[in-house]
């Protein structure tokens, strides 16, 4: 590196965000994730032995996914390529993969390919990675903030070791603050920064375990505050004004997270659209994952609305699909529409209770005897004189016939309520002579 390069790097470092300047270069500097990189833990052993295999880092923003990948790159003898699924296309991806294949073939050098936001790759792009991962040509390290079991192809997922990175704890956030304030080269150590305890607590609480957000917020507060004799006083008012938001309503990992979603679901169940909107707003303003909210409404649509209004499942499923298409802030409108629809709908938990009761019987009863006339016609046991009655040969496409195992002949699992569409089900059962 020549003097020009050194000067350029210095200028870039001075102008780059605080979070980037303080990015750890090794495991000793890394903060958080003790469950995977602590002394003797899985990932730290792999890194130190240079035996890293294909990995998927899954967790919220600002917890060290990209940083860990770069630390691995710094400590390994392998090539390293970084891609963003947001900006990279299939042509760029294939160029990287082809070069990795050549390096592997002619120089026996492996390449680590780090793909940030890997869930943003479409199926074709994800599938393109498969043969290279399978043959060991590349070591893939993916990073995602989304649930990989929903967002990453199963074929690719089965070839990756999934590591769940957690939101940073308060002690980790305090370390980041202290490092930023004291580091004279990368941080603000050349200033005398007085950070009040209230301001510190507010900063940590509002960052919700996101280290990058915390450092960015601290940087804005420092740079936007007047300095007197090289001294900066950061009070609670300064932090609130700098962050342009009041105290978050809850920490996504704390009790309030579970209490709020519980209150939301109970408000839907209690047919109170106003309360449902309030708790929905609280979750959104606290940075709750909108997919988490939508998934809970899909479950609610089946568990609590059920066949009283089968359209509820359609609305909830459409909500999940559409919030992914538009994202925030507009997703709040779709979530609000779905929540008010579910809260205002007629409700029945008959299907939910029925399946739970059936599962309970399966566990308790064990093996049961399926009526002979219901078993596969190719089964040699199906030589009985008992004939299967084909319902469509009869009036209303119904004929009285036992379908349950003999041991449970008269068992009733599904007990529809006399409300909504289930009232029509009851009327239909009466019409055809089926007692329910």
Output the pLDDT for position 12. 39
Q: Is the pLDDT of residue 14 over 70?
A: no
d(CA 251, CA 421): 40
Confidence band, pLDDT 50/70/90 cuts, at residue 42: confident
Q: Do 160 and 175 sit in the same domain of this protein? A: no
Instruction: Name the domain boundary from 222, 243, 264.
Output: 243
Average pLDDT, integer, range 364-382: 76
Output the pLDDT for position 78. 85
In the chain, pLDDT over 70 holds for what percent of residues? 91
Q: Do 52 and 135 sit in the same domain of this protein? A: yes
Q: Is the pLDDT of residue 193 over 50?
A: yes
Which CATH number does the domain housing residue 87 bear? 3.40.50.300
Which CATH number does the domain housing residue 335 bear? 1.20.272.10
User: Domain tally for the chain?
Assistant: 4
Q: Is residue 336 within 8 Å of 321, Cβ to Cβ?
A: no
Q: Do 147 and 177 sit in the same domain of this protein? A: no
Residue with tokens 């909830």, as numbered in its chain = 316
Confidence band, pLDDT 50/70/90 cuts, at residue 343: very high
Confidence band, pLDDT 50/70/90 cuts, at residue 179: very high
Average pLDDT, integer, range 371-380: 78
Output the pLDDT for position 8. 37
Please name the residues in contact with 377: beta carbons below 8 A apart, sequence gap of 6 or more: none
353, part of any domain: no
pLDDT per position as a tens digit, 157-174: 999 999 999 989 999 999
Selected residue with higher pLDDT from 389 and 150: 389
Q: Is the pLDDT of residue 18 over 60?
A: yes
Average pLDDT, integer, range 205-213: 88
275, part of any domain: yes
Output the pLDDT for position 149. 83
d(CA 52, CA 72): 8
18, part of any domain: no
Q: Do 290 and 261 sit in the same domain of this protein? A: yes
Q: Do 174 and 227 sit in the same domain of this protein? A: yes
Q: Is the pLDDT of residue 376 over 90?
A: no
What tokens does 416 get? 């529809």
Output the pLDDT for position 248. 53
pLDDT per position as a tens digit, 267-318: 999 999 999 999 999 999 888 889 999 999 999 999 999 999 999 999 999 9
d(CA 108, CA 100): 10
Q: Do 71 and 127 sit in the same domain of this protein? A: yes
Output the pLDDT for position 4. 38
Q: How many CB atoms lie within 10 A of CB 161?
A: 14
Cis link prior to 329 (omega < 30° from 0)? yes
Q: Do 59 and 154 sit in the same domain of this protein? A: yes
Is 9 exposed, middle or buried, given 0-12, 13-18 or 19+ CB atoms closer than 10 A? exposed
What tokens does 1 get? 């590196």
For the chain, the average pLDDT equals 88
pLDDT per position as a tens digit, 98-137: 999 999 999 888 899 999 999 989 888 999 999 999 998 9
365, part of any domain: no
d(CA 217, CA 366): 59
pLDDT per position as a tens digit, 220-250: 999 999 888 889 999 998 998 888 655 455 5
Contacts of range 314-321, beta carbons closer than 8 Å, 24 or more positions apart: 315/341, 315/342, 316/342, 319/294, 320/291, 320/294, 320/295
Output the pLDDT for position 387. 82
Range of the domain at 181: 170-243
Confidence band, pLDDT 50/70/90 cuts, at residue 194: very high
Selected residue with higher pLDDT from 202 and 346: 346
CA dihedral 341, 292, 143, 207 (to 10 degrees): 110
Q: Give the range with max mean pLDDT: 69-73, 180-184, 252-256.
A: 180-184
Output the pLDDT for position 235. 92
Which CATH number does the domain housing residue 412 bear? 1.10.3710
Is 22 exposed, middle or buried, given 0-12, 13-18 or 19+ CB atoms closer than 10 A? buried
pLDDT per position as a tens digit, 378-436: 666 666 656 889 999 999 899 999 999 988 888 999 999 999 999 999 999 999 988 64
What tokens does 179 get? 């490092």
């Amino acid at each position: 590196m020549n003097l020009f390069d050194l000067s350029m790097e210095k200028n870039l470092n001075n102008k780059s965000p605080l979070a980037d300047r303080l990015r750890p270069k090794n495991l000793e500097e890394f903060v958080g994730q003790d469950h995977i990189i602590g002394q003797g833990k899985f990932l730290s052993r792999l890194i130190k032995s240079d035996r890293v295999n294909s990995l998927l880092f899954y967790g919220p923003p600002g917890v060290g996914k990209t940083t860990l990948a770069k630390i691995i790159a710094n400590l390994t003898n392998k090539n390293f390529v970084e891609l963003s699924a947001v900006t990279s296309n299939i042509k760029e991806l294939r160029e990287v993969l082809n070069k990795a294949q050549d390096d592997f073939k002619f120089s026996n050098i492996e390449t680590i390919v780090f793909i940030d936001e890997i869930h943003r790759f479409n199926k074709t792009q994800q599938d393109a990675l498969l043969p290279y991962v399978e043959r060991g040509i590349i070591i893939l390290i993916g990073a995602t903030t989304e649930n990989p079991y929903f967002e990453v192809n199963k074929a690719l997922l089965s070839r990756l070791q999934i590591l769940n990175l957690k939101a940073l704890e308060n002690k980790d956030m305090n370390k980041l603050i202290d490092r930023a304030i004291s580091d004279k080269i990368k941080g603000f150590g050349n200033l005398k920064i007085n950070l009040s305890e209230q301001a510190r607590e507010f900063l940590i609480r509002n960052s919700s375990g996101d280290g990058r957000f915390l450092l960015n917020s601290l940087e804005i507060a420092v740079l936007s505050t007047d300095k007197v004799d090289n001294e900066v006083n950061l009070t609670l008012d300064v932090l609130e004004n700098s962050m342009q938001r009041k105290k978050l309503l809850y920490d996504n990992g704390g009790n309030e997270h579970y209490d709020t979603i519980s209150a939301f679901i109970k408000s839907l169940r209690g047919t109170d659209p106003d309360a449902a909107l309030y708790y929905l707003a609280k979750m959104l303003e606290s940075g709750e994952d909108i997919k988490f909210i939508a998934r809970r409404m899909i479950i609610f649509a089946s568990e609590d609305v059920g066949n009283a209004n089968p359209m509820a499942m359609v609305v909830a499923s459409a909500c999940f699909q559409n919030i992914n298409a538009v994202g925030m802030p507009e997703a709040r409108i779709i979530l609000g529409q779905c929540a008010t629809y579910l809260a205002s709908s007629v409700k029945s938990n008959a299907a939910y209770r029925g399946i739970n009761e059936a599962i309970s019987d399966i566990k308790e009863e064990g093996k049961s005897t399926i009526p002979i006339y219901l078993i596969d016609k190719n089964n040699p046991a199906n030589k009985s004189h008992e004939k299967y009655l084909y319902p469509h040969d009869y009036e209303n496409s119904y004929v009285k016939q036992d379908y349950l195992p003999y041991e449970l002949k008269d068992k009733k699992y599904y007990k529809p309520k006399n409300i909504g569409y289930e009232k029509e089900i009851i009327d239909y059962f009466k019409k055809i002579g089926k007692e329910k």
